[in-house]
Amino acid sequence: MATHHAAGTGTSGAANSGPRPEEPQEQRSEGIDPRAELSEFLRTRRGRLKPADVGLTDHSRRRRVPGLRREELAHLAGVSAAYYTRFEQGHARNVSREVIDALSRALQLSDPEHAHLLRLAQAERTRQQPKPPRQQVRPQLQEMLTAMEGMPAYMWGRRSDVLAWNQTASALFGDWAARTPQDRNWGRILFLDPASRKLFADWETTAYDVVRQLRLGAGQHPDDALLASLISELAMKSDDFRRLWAAHDVKGYTHGDVRFSHRLVGELTLRYQTFALADDQEQYLTTYHAEPGSPSQEALHLLSCWGADAAHERAHPSAEEEAPDS
């Protein structure tokens, strides 16, 4: 995932001081219901396990559920079936850490999934929340991004919003400065901008990463009205988002490889690293680099040299490029 600062002058963006179009007044009191999230998360985790996966023998000929039954999971976790049912339905109060840990072990949850379950179990739905503060990138960080020219780098925030970027990132991903602040968001870019399906050679994997990050954020901030609004918008407008969101998988961005098919330099594979700020765990720096001496490094160097021209070409392809194949 990538990030850049709001539209400004020069080779890199700067925060927009005007009103935020992505924060309509009527959406502030809405949020994400942790109880509904908890129920669906547990149901999908049960659904991916078979009795044989957890050492149980299935004596029934026909199962009405694709995975573990509630009573089977309750047995594995050492709680009563009635208690677990109340918990999965969001009706149990003050569930102990020991019970949550036991359920995590029984469900074979990963560390991010366990943390997600813990947050959902301990969350209380609150209403009439004040407008969340706008995320700001320190000027020194913008200076750092500019100093990193030649390497695509950007800052991104809690809702996968692009907050600040350098010119090389724009050359790779497109002219973020030409987008509205609302549209500088990886969810909207991946699921609502058809150009992303051409840029990312493995679009499905990249889109799934964005969904898992958004799901992680939803568990961390169930009262975030803007995040809830974003998720609702994507679910309404994108069949692919609804499909991937229904999996209830959670995972943060750390590192990996991404393959691109760039209209100016062709195929290239870049390695990304993501770092959380020590003094702001809701802002992240993501950088991309190519393997030294590889064709991808040469392609990235060309993009860096073209700079703003490459960004403009990505944002405004020629009519000939946009014309459908006959």
Nearest 10 degrees: Cα torsion 125, 253, 110, 229: 20
Residue 39 tokens read as 């129920």
pLDDT in the model for residue 222: 84
Q: What whole-number distance in Å separates Cα of residue 30 and Cα of residue 22?
A: 14
Q: With beta carbons less than 8 A apart as the criterion, state whether 291 and 271 touch.
A: yes
Residue 322 tokens read as 């946009």
Which of helix, strand or coil describes residue 304?
helix
- pLDDT tens, position by position, 92-142: 777 888 888 888 898 998 888 888 888 888 876 555 455 666 778 899 999
pLDDT in the model for residue 273: 96
Q: pTM of the full predicted structure? A: 0.73
Question: For 3-7, 215-219, 233-237, which range has the lowest pLDDT when averaged over its residues?
Answer: 3-7
pLDDT in the model for residue 63: 64
What's the burial of 107, exposed, middle or buried (CB within 10 Å: 0-12/13-18/19+)?
A: buried
- pLDDT tens, position by position, 144-186: 999 999 999 999 998 999 999 999 999 999 899 999 999 999 9
Measuring CA to CA, which residue among 78, 47, 52 is closest to residue 64? 47
What's the burial of 223, exposed, middle or buried (CB within 10 Å: 0-12/13-18/19+)?
A: buried
- pLDDT tens, position by position, 236-277: 999 999 999 998 988 877 899 999 999 999 999 999 999 999
Mean pLDDT, the chain, integer: 81
Q: Does residue 15 register a pLDDT over 70?
A: no
pLDDT in the model for residue 19: 35
Q: Does residue 293 register a pLDDT over 50?
A: yes
Residue 20 tokens read as 């935020």
pLDDT in the model for residue 262: 94
Q: What whole-number distance in Å separates Cα of residue 98 and Cα of residue 219?
A: 20
